[in-house]
Every structure is written in C-alpha cells, then in structure tokens.
Amino acid sequence: MAATSRGTAPEPPDVRPRLTVLSGPSGVGKSTVVAHMRKVHPEVWLSVSATTRKPRPGERDGVQYYFVGDDEFDKLVANGELLEWAEFAGNRYGTPRRAVLERIEAGEPVLLEIDLQGARLVRESMPEAQLVFLAPPSWEELVRRLTGRGTEPPEVIERRLETAKIELAAESEFDTTLVNTSVEDVARELLALMQVV
C-alpha cells in the first residue's frame, strides 16, 4: 500500500515591512500628516535627511536634519551612501541609505517624506518601495494653503504653484493616492498601508 503524504500548510508570505515613500506637491500637508502619525505611532521610523543648508533656529543636528558641509555631501554622493538626493533652493538634501536598510532589516516600518524627484530616485534604486502620493482636495485649496502662509514673496509663491502643477501631473507614477481632506484620516490610511496596527 502506497504511503500518502499529507499536505502541509503553505508558509505564510514574508510580511517584512517595506519602505513607504510619502510625496506630493508643496503645501499639501505632508509634514503635518507625518507629525500627527508619529504622535500616535512613534514606532514608525522617519528617515532623517542630510542637508547642506544651515540649521534654522531651534533645529538640532540629527533630529530635523543631519547638517553637513558641501565636501561631506559630495563624499556621501560619491560613495553611494544616499538612497536619493536633490538640490532645492540652492541647498542639497539626501536620504542616508544605510539607516533605512538597517531599519527595514530589523522589521521596522520606515517612512520617507520627500519630493517628487526623490521619490522617482527611490523607485529606481528600490523598486519594491511603496510610493504614496498625497493630493490636495482641490487645486483651489492648494493655492489657498500656499498663499495663506504669508511668509513668502509673490514670485516665490508663483514658482511653488508652477512646481505644484508639475508634481500633481506625476500622480499616476505612484502606487496609491491619498487625498488630504483630514489629517487624522490620512494618517490612519497611511498607517494601514504601512501595516502598522
């Protein structure tokens, strides 16, 4: 009599957290959503970027940014130590690669909050990353948010609005779009996408 083998349950899929990238036009509220989310779920690790810009009052090295000189930034780029980098308003910003990979390997949810250019570079170097686009409820609302700050001259606002049009046109490049009608709702949806419970 032939032996019959009993089927074994399949191995559960590898549910290791993957990198989540949050991007969207200037003024859409990315920082506000991330701040709210991390208040509720401090275990979500937000990557700290390196920058060549000088610290603003109250900013601390290693907290808001890693503040580095041009030479040091050049070395980071040359050695492939940045996952992505971009120049914005005369300063360079980049995401240190090693810290991101270490956190993912440790099974921690990792979030990057970066611009469109950076999101595209992450897509190239880490195709498995989850790209999330944060959209405004409407163009009028985005204009209101950008002009309502009252901290920038009209030509800067005009430049930001032109950039925002380009950024909005790139929405289809992302895996998921969240519309920022409510900070609490978007933060909850983002946590669900990141599988943080």
Beta-carbon contacts of residue 194 (< 8 Å; ≥ 6 apart): 17, 20, 44, 109, 111, 130
pLDDT tens per residue, range 61-86: 988 899 999 999 999 999 999 999 98
Q: How confident is the model at residue 24 (pLDDT cuts 50, 70, 90)?
A: very high
32-43 pLDDT, tens digit each = 999 999 898 888
Tell me what pLDDT residue 149 has: 66
b (16+ CB within 10 A) / e for 136-174: beeeeebbebbeeeeeeeeeebeebbeebeebbebeeeb
